[in-house]
Structure 1
Amino acid sequence: MHCFRTSFFLSAIFRPRREVGNHGTQPKWHAFEPPLPQRLADEGAHLVQPACKEDSQAKGPYHTKVRAGRGFTLEELKAAGIHKKTARTIGISVDSRRRNRSSESLQANVQRLKEYRSKLILFPRKASAPKKGDSTEEELKMATQLSGAVMPIKNVHKKEKARVISEDEKNFKAFASLRMARANARLFGIRAKRAKEAEAESIDKKK
């Protein structure tokens, strides 16, 4: 016969959980946290952030929605001609962990960085000794303080107009095209090897 015994070694750690269960109220330190996209937007409201799409596995219309990301990638900064250490000093958020998975998002964020850099007016630390990259005196006179989010991201929904389906679209077989593309990608190496061997054999026969 076995004896089952329950031990409570972490009694102090689970005290907040017991308070929730016993009194039906949450402890004082437990506060409501908004979802991640909203937190990122609130934290980086004073910084320029990249445009990122929602998770591709999201259901409904959410996978096409564009939101503010945590920071620009090092590849995007390099393409825009901005050093990663300089970016943090001029109001650009940087995320060294994020990776670019498509050339479209890379080009869009690079263009976003270039637009921000063209609108940015950089004051010199010493007015008597301006450095390379600082704004000129004429640009400093035109400077105005920005209030609110920096270059906010707006989702614009474009409706496509109804049109007549063409004959090419009617005859197009999507499933067969996808299978053919997968087969070509899978057999690319084998076909290249066979073509190389056949070329070598033809050269040997000529000799």
Structure 2
Amino acid sequence: MAPKRNNMVPNGHFHKDWQRYVKTWFNQPMRKKRRHTKRIKKARAIAPRPVKGSLRPVVRCPTFKYNTKQRLGKGFSLEELKAAGIQKRVARTIGISVDYRRRNKSVESLQQNVQRLKEYKSKLILVPRKAAKPAKADASVSSTPLTLFSFGIGSGFFRSVCSGII
């Protein structure tokens, strides 16, 4: 069949050196190992702070298709912080994310997130900035080095407080 209409005249180049453009992934297992060790190193460096960053609320996904699922949201609402007895300015300094735009649409989710905040607060250890003058909420100076030492990577603190919903 002859080519029709105003198109380019076929002129194929089928002898390209394709072997030069092949990309191999033999470094994949080592890269996995490297990422793993880096993660552990980072966790040890920032211990006892949470590995996954600041604490986030559990929220329902929008739309009918996904509303059976839960995920981590952007930040806790001001209402949730108030119910947990945490001031909004203090929250960010102790590793709790805040989203002032969020509204609570159900009592269940409010209670669930308040419980999450209270659990986090109970396990929180505030290391005093100055050993000579610890603040009211700070941990005692004598117990601080011991607690810092006891936080390993596999400790329950990281799993319970810092884990998502899983």
Tell me if 1:142 matches 2:147. Answer: yes
Q: Which residue of 2 aligns with 1:79?
A: 83
- 1:36-56: CA deviation from partner (whole Å, max 9, x where unpaired): xxxxxxxx931000000111x
- 1:132 lines up with 2:136 in the alignment: yes
For structure 2, the 5+ residue unaligned runs are 1-50
Q: Deviations over 1:40-77 (max 9, x none)?
A: xxxx931000000111x232xx2111100000000000
Distance 1:130 1:83, change over 3 A: same
**Structure 2 CA distance, aligned partners of 1:146 and 1:97?**
35
Which residue of the other structure, out of 58, 64, 67, is the alignment partner of 1:58?
Answer: 64
Distance (whole Å) between structure 2 residues aligned to residue 75 and residue 139 of structure 1:
33
Unaligned runs of 5+ in 1: 1-43, 156-207
CA-based RMSD: 2.2
Equivalence for 2:52: 45
Residue of structure 1 in register with 2:43 after alignment: none
Provide the rounded CA distance (Å) in 1 between the counterparts of 2:147 and 2:129. Answer: 18
Give the counterpart of 1:95 among 99, 106, 120: 99
Pairing 1:151–2:158 present? no
The equivalent residue for 1:17 is none
Rg (Cα) greater in structure? 1
Distance 1:154 1:99, change over 3 A: same
The 1:139/1:117 distance shift into structure 2, 3 A limit, reads: farther
Which aligned pairs between 1:171-190 and structure 2 lie closer than 5 A? none
TM-score by length of 1: 0.48
| Residues in 2 aligned to 1:84 and 1:146: alpha-carbon distance in whole angstroms | 30
CA–CA distance in structure 1, aligned partners of residues 82 and 153 of structure 2 = 26
Identity of aligned pairs, percent?
53
What whole-Å deviation, never above 9, does each CA across 1:134-172 have from its counterpart, x for those lacking one?
0123542223266978522235xxxxxxxxxxxxxxxxx
Task: Quote the residue 2:11 is aligned against.
Answer: none
Question: Structure 1 residue 99: deviation in Å?
Answer: 0.3
- What SS class does the counterpart of residue 142 from structure 1 fall into? helix
Post-superposition CA distance 1:75-104 (Å, at most 9, x none):
000000000000000000000000000000
- For 2:102 and 2:132, the matched residues in 1 are separated by 40
Given that 2:125 and 2:139 are in contact with CA atoms closer than 8 Å, whether structure 1 keeps it comes out as: yes
What is the letter of the counterpart of residue 112 of structure 1?
R
**8 Å contact from structure 1 (residues 76, 110) kept in 2:** yes
Instruction: Tell me the SS of whatever aligns to 1:116.
Output: helix
Gap change, CA 1:95 and 1:152, over 3 Å in 2: same
Which structure features the higher share of helix residues?
1
Is the 2:131–2:141 Cα contact (8 Å) retained in structure 1?
no
Quick one: structure 1 residues 139 and 106, their matched pair in 2 at CA, closer, same or farther if it must change by over 3 Å? farther
The residue aligned with 2:119 is 115
